Amino acid sequence: MYTQRRMFAVLLTTIAISVPTTRCHGETLFYDDFQDGELADDMPVSWVPFNQGESSAVDGDLIATLTNDNYFLLTADIGEQTDVSMRTQFRLVEFPDPVSDELALEFIARGNAENVEAYLLGLFEDGEAYIWHTWGTGHSVLASTQTELRPLEEDVVLQADVIGDELSLWAWRTNEPMPKEPVVDVISDTLSQGVIGFDISWKSPGSSVALKYFHAATEHIGAILDGDYNFDGTVSGIDLDLQSSALVNPTPDLMRFDHDNDGAVTTDDRLILVHEYLHTWIGDSNLDGQFNSGDLVAVFDASKFENEVQAGWSDGDWNGDGYFDSSDFVMAFQDGGYEKGVRVPAVPEPTCELLMLLASTIPLFRRKGLA
């Protein structure tokens, strides 16, 4: 019987249809959502402040406040980088003297602390986007353009790519898709590598900025797939398990995990991920697009049913509470996908097959657990 199940599992694995993929986003260096309230604990990165300012992680935002009339810089403590793509969502939240001062949020790339040299790619409060080369005593404007973005009034997604000798700045509103082209770009081979980070500047003491997250990768960060929480270009079991962590987290990252925008990460978000982004059913443990006996074989082999050990989606934790127990069968039953084949968009009806299966399978798991 056991051998039969193994063969069945192998067969299913062989014919498994993989989840659609898009091109990857290079290696993610880090993604900091500032949810842990810490900026200097290496989780996932430590932020090192330079010059005069204050910084803290509050309610999932990084707040940086300028206390001088020049700049306040935070670098990510991950060593020198060559090619980098950096993305953040930010808003300028304090700007005491808009008449006589200027205010910008800018990325730093290929920065060198010794001679205070770097590429700066940023956005002024009036919507001017720019790419500068700066050094200790001056700067040159490599490129600039006026945009209609107003970061004092709206959240803006800002992305800087410094890849090879191509420098580009991307900017868009949060309710819009990522644009196909950068707002400004230029070729420069002056700097080859250095630290990365961002600063708030300049001539505007008392000004502050709020960043929702900071994502850094070694290649251009493209449009992120819905449900691709680890940015690997694929929606997979890894993402289901990341969502499970968010489901039991008292302060989850709503930007990433709250798909129905109700201010919480709940079973409804689970259903959106499984139905709309993975196009499958609750219960499809092997993610072959169907919920059938092959999935029961898989979770049976994992042997985590009511064992009080941590379980993932592939082990049978379909509802995302971290364990595999009868509540997972209840959710799968309610979803109604058992032996319904590949999911098509429709309102599912609970099936009596699954009801019968529920009645017959749970004792089987119990017996295995006792054995």
Q: Footprint of Ca ion on this chain (CB under 5 A)?
A: 228, 230, 232, 234, 239, 258, 260, 262, 269, 284, 286, 288, 290, 295, 317, 319, 321, 323, 328
Q: Which is nearer to Ca ion, 284 or 335 (CB)?
A: 284
Measured from the CB of residue 44, what is the shortest distance to Ca ion in angstroms? 16
Residue 88 or 236 having the CB closest to Ca ion = 236
Report angle CA 363, 369, 371 to the nearest 5 degrees: 105
Residue with Cβ nearer Ca ion (179 or 237)? 237
Between residues 56 and 251, which has the closer beta carbon with respect to Ca ion?
Answer: 251
Closest separation in Å from C-beta 244 to Ca ion: 8
Min separation Cβ 257 and Ca ion, Å: 7
- Residues 6 or more apart from 249 whose CB is under 8 A from it? 265
Q: Where are the beta strands (DSSP E) in 95-194?
A: 104-112, 117-124, 128-135, 138-146, 156-163, 166-173, 184-187
Identity of the residue, 32 or 295, whose beta carbon is nearer to Ca ion in the bound complex: 295
Least Cβ distance, residue 289 to Ca ion (angstroms): 7
The H or E element that residue 54 is part of is: strand 53-58
CB of 123 to Ca ion, least distance (A): 29
Provide, rounded to whole angstroms, the least separation between the CB of residue 9 and Ca ion.
Answer: 11
Closest distance to Ca ion from the beta carbon of 26 (Å)? 14
Q: Which of 300, 334, 337 is nearest to 316 (CA)?
A: 300
Would you list the DSSP string of 208-275? EEEEEEEEEESS---PPPTT-TT-SSB--HHHHHHHHHHHT-SS--HHHH-TT-SSS--HHHHHIIII
Question: How far is residue 75's CA from residue 193's CA, in Å, rounded to a whole number?
Answer: 14
Say if CB 162 and CB 189 are below 8 A apart.
no
Which residue number, 17 or 113, has a Cβ lying nearer to Ca ion?
A: 17
Query: Cβ distance 222 to 234 under 8 Å?
Result: no
| Residue nearer to Ca ion on the CB measure, 61 or 269 | 269
d(CA 331, CA 326): 9
In sign, the C-alpha dihedral spanning 53, 57, 58, 60 is positive
Q: Quick check: 261 and 314 in contact, CB under 8 A?
A: no
Q: Among residues 166 and 301, whose Cβ is nearest to Ca ion?
A: 301
- Closest approach, Cβ 260 to Ca ion, in A, equals 4
Strands 208-217 and 28-32: antiparallel
